[in-house]
Every structure is written in C-alpha cells, then in structure tokens.
Amino acid sequence: MHNATHNAIPVIAIDGPSASGKGTIAELVATELGFHYLDSGALYRIVALAAKQQNIAWDDALAVAECAKNLVIEFKNSQIFLNGADISEAIRTEEMGKGASRVAVHAAVREVLVDLQHNFCKAPGLVADGRDMGTVIFPNAPLKVFLTAATEVRAQRRYQQLINKKQADNDTQSSYADILQDLQERDARDQGRTSAPLIKAKDAILLETDHLGISQAVDYVLQNFQLKNCK
C-alpha cells in the first residue's frame, strides 16, 4: 500500500468532515511551506462527474471503479483538468459534492485512487487534505491534523460560500436547512462506511475551528509542523 520511499518526504495530513475548512487551510499551509497540495476530495468529485458523464449510477461500485481507472487527471495552477478539459468549476457544485460522498463509500473506488494519491508525494513535501489521509493514505505522515467544527457552523460557512459565489439563486442546495441536512447525511455516510471511514487518527492533533479564523488555524498547523521538525 504505502510506498516506503515516500517516508523521507514530509507529509502534513489534514482530515475532517465536509465544510470544516480543511481545503482552504491545507492549501494555505502548502503555499507557506512551498509544498505540493493534494485535495483528495476533488478526486472523488472528479470520479462522480466522470461517472455522470458516462451515465454510470453512483451506487454501481464496480462500474464507477472501472471508470475511475481510466481517468487522466491533472492539477495545474489551481485548475483541474479531466481528460484535457477544465472541470474546476464543474466539480464544485453541491451535486458533485453529494456525488463524491456517494462514490467514496465504495472500497473498489478508494483502492483505485490510492496509488494516484501516493503519486502526489514529491519533494520538498506534501500537504494532503481529505477523510483518510492520516489513517489510510499517509499513515506515516509526521504531522496529522483532524480539523472539525459543529455541523451548524459548517452549514453556515457553506451557505455563505454559495451566496458569495452567487450560486444560491440557481443551485438546488441554496437554503441553510437543505445544506445542514446534506452535511448531516454526508457525515453519517463518511463515518459509517466500512472502507476508510472518517475517524481521527490516534496520533492526530484535534483542531476545532468553530471560533478560529483561517489565519489562526493555518498558524496553528505551521507551529505544530515546526515543533515536529525540531524534535
């Protein structure tokens, strides 16, 4: 599973539920350190989009896994390409967020994406965010952070994001109540699945962001990384 040659490359694994802010924080930490960045959640969104494009039902585990094997995915300058097409915006809809959660429950799909995720581990280092970065994909990461916030806080943040993107008018998930229910369902799926469920790694630092700003959370991760390096 885990390639031993990666052990020399520092990895910061940031896990947590939907809308906990882990993507924003992970990307800023990566920028600060000059590390590569892996948004593993985007991979599942990409698989969900590809399956939809090919008329494959998200609940069809084997067909989705087969579809995932043949995808050409590129991350370039904050843009994401699937088979050469820019899908940066297409995967960020609420529908694809739901799709990601649906396809991620399949062990066969997760297995296909393991090697792909390991390939992001390159010098000088990697910041990876997702649901199982510290528990499954990079179990030897020197720093693991489990980022969380109350469901209501996360729903409010997601709602604000949609309004800011002006998607609230034409997005089916525009009301706070809908978003709250959606997050509760996603949490239940993520925590309840048999393959790589969302759990805090034993050696992960718990970071609750209910009352923290983004820059405070970034500083906290950076400080802990420095402490790990000083040991």
Position 4 in a domain: no
Which pair of tokens denotes residue 45? 């969104």
Position 83 in a domain: yes
What dihedral angle (degrees, nearest 10) is formed by the CA atoms of 197, 199, 203, 204?
A: 120
The residues, ordered by sequence, that sit 6+ positions from 181 with a Cβ below 8 Å of its Cβ are none
Picking from 108-117, 142-151, 158-167, which range would have the lowest pLDDT averaged per residue? 158-167
How does DSSP classify residue 204?
P
- Residue in 24, 3, 6 with CA at minimum distance from that of residue 14: 24
Position 49 in a domain: yes
How far apart are alpha carbons 18 and 77 in whole angstroms?
A: 23
CB neighbours (10 Å) of residue 208? 15
How far apart are alpha carbons 51 and 47 in whole angstroms?
A: 6
Q: What range does the domain containing 141 cover? A: 9-230
Position 54 in a domain: yes
pLDDT at 174 over 90: no
In this predicted model, what pLDDT tens digit does every residue of 179-222 receive, in sequence order?
Answer: 999 899 989 988 998 888 889 999 999 999 999 999 999 999 99
pLDDT of residue 76: 77
In this predicted model, what pLDDT tens digit does every residue of 3-14 receive, in sequence order?
Answer: 444 568 999 999
Enter the pTM of the model.
0.84
User: Which segment, 143-147, 175-179, 180-184, is predicted with the most confidence on average?
Assistant: 143-147
pLDDT of residue 171: 52
144: phi then psi, degrees, rounded to nearest 5:
-125, 130
How does DSSP classify residue 10?
-
Position 47 in a domain: yes
- Residue in 17, 7, 10 with CA at minimum distance from that of residue 129: 17
Position 184 in a domain: yes
**Number of folded domains that form the chain:** 1
Position 2 in a domain: no
Position 1 in a domain: no
pLDDT of residue 158: 87
The CATH number covering residue 146 comes to: 3.40.50.300
